[in-house]
Amino acid sequence: MADNVQINIDGKIIECPVIVGTEGERAIDISKLRTQSGLITMDPGFGNTGACQSAITYLDGDKGFLRYRGIPVEQLAENSTFVETSYLLIYGRLPNAQELEAFSDAFNEHSMIHEDMVNFFHAYPSTTHPMAILSAMVCAMSAYYPEFIKEEPTKQEINRIAVQLLSKVRTICAFSYKKSIGEPFVYPRHDLHYVHNFLNMMFSSPTNPYQIDDDVVNALQMLLILHADHEQNCSTSTVRLVGSSHANLYASISAGICALWGPLHGGANQAVIEMLEMIHKDGGDFNKYIAKAKDKSNTFRLMGFGHRVYKNFDPRARVIKKCADNLFNKLGINDPLLDLAKRIEEAVLKDEYFIERKLYPNVDFYSGIIFRAIGIPLNMFPVMFAIGRLPGWIAHWKEMIDDPTSKIGRPYQIYTGSLKKDYVPIEQR
């Protein structure tokens, strides 16, 4: 295996080291290319660019597997809890019983949000998308905990913000839902575990306490674990980029939430259900929509299909589809959208257009159907993704801050605008 790659630029040989990861992945280190040759590399969408070295998550898009800190995500989805998986991602290993108990206790300690922040919710129109509230509230937390807003927080301070964020974000999300339906907020309870607590804050009301269903709790727990990290995706790269300027963790996570919101990323779970509803209302003729997605003169895309990295299948989609089937059987739910989704998947997997381009169902294709069955409203779907992705964002921010070699993120460009010209006063234009 070569240690170096030579690039011949106008007869000048530039030696670029090859970096090899623990799983044998290889990268050409071009970090000295510009200073040695004056050239930069172009890679729109960063399809071939490694922005960092990371020990958090490994995925193989061709083989279709995903591991957090070495552990296959399917094993975590089956056996772990979201709190334990968060610990694993943030601290690099599974906790022992004492560590897990201390971590869970810290969640309880930090579950309330400052009562002044509660007033913010009342200032938003009830039609506000909960992602807007979430990103604003997370950034606003920096105003309430200014003691942590410093350029070099200690390890202890970072740990405190991490657990604070994990716990408070869940409360903020539930409050934003309550605000949207005009119901009084339900405060967090110390006697309930993470997912129970969230469902209780979402669905309990003074007249109708929420009846906890273990199947629902397990399904949500599994979904959160499957969303917990996905290496250098759009929102995580955003968190790293913002954090690379040494912006504080609240500000960096708030930016990540905004990046996640888009329908090509975490907003896809909402877009999938909107698409399925549209096809269902239109008589269920999904072939018409598949044809539309293949038509290059049409911008319509089949939401929930395709992935930048997975070119075989998305391992998360497989687990989620199985979970959807089990949950629907257990709860006796018959959702026409689940049947429609399965028929679309079946048709797409046989279609030459999708086969050629290696477009498979991604994590968002079936997750929305489960959120829907649990009773989570459509515009909260990306919020659920954000709750799930939070430990991954924190782990990446922390890894970057701890890395003495990390630098501020600042890509170059190739300028294609006008050549130098003089300013013309307005009366002469």
Q: Which of 307, 314, 351, 396 does the annotation list as catalytic?
A: 307
* Shortest distance, position 285 Cβ to ligand ACO, whole Å: 17
Distance CA 232, CA 278 (A): 32
Q: In the window 13-52, what residues touch ligand ACO (CB under 6 A)?
A: 45
The answer to the question of residue 389 lying near ligand ACO (CB under 6 A) is: no
Residue-by-residue DSSP string for 252-321: HHHHHHHHHHSTTTTTHHHHHHHHHHHHHHTTS-HHHHHHHHH-TT-----TTB--SS-SS--HHHHHHH
Q: Which window, 104-112, 249-257, 260-268, 414-422, contacts ligand ACO (CB under 6 A)?
A: 260-268
Q: Which of 314, 351, 364, 396 does the annotation list as catalytic?
A: 364
* Shortest distance, position 111 Cβ to ligand ACO, whole Å: 27
Nearest to 390 by CA among 212, 244, 260: 260
Q: Which window, 105-113, 161-169, 261-269, 317-325, contacts ligand ACO (CB under 6 A)?
A: 261-269
Distance, C-alpha 328 to centroid of its chain: 25
Q: What are phi and psi of 18, to 5 degrees?
A: -100, 130
Crossing angle of helices 286-294 and 336-349, in 10° steps, is 50
Tokens of 256: 């990540």
Closest to ligand ACO by CB, 186 or 241: 241
Closest to ligand ACO by CB, 134 or 303: 303
User: Cα dihedral sign for 287, 293, 297, 299?
Assistant: positive
Closest to ligand ACO by CB, 218 or 236: 236
* Shortest distance, position 310 Cβ to ligand ACO, whole Å: 8
Residue 140 C-beta-side C-alpha neighbours within 13 Å: 18
H-helix or E-strand spanning residue 234? helix 234-243
Q: Are 298 and 52 in contact (CB under 8 A)?
A: no
Q: Which window, 104-112, 299-307, 337-345, 408-416, contacts ligand ACO (CB under 6 A)?
A: 299-307
* Shortest distance, position 385 Cβ to ligand ACO, whole Å: 7
* Shortest distance, position 380 Cβ to ligand ACO, whole Å: 16
Question: Is 307 assigned a catalytic role?
Answer: yes
Closest to ligand ACO by CB, 88 or 268: 268
Residue of 301, 311, 322, 342 interacting with ligand ACO (CB under 6 A): 301
* Shortest distance, position 47 Cβ to ligand ACO, whole Å: 7
Number of residues that bind ligand ACO (CB under 6 A): 19
| Sequence-separated (6 or more) residues with CB below 8 Å from residue 47 | 308
Residue of 293, 319, 384, 386 interacting with ligand ACO (CB under 6 A): 293
Distance CA 163, CA 236 (A): 18
Question: Is 364 assigned a catalytic role?
Answer: yes
String of contacts with ligand ACO for each residue 302-341, x by CB under 6 A: xxxxxxx---------------------------------
Q: What are phi and psi of 312, to 5 degrees?
A: -130, -70
Residues that bind ligand ACO (CB under 6 A): 45, 264-266, 268, 293, 301-308, 357, 359, 362-364
Please give the positions annotated as active site. Answer: 307, 364
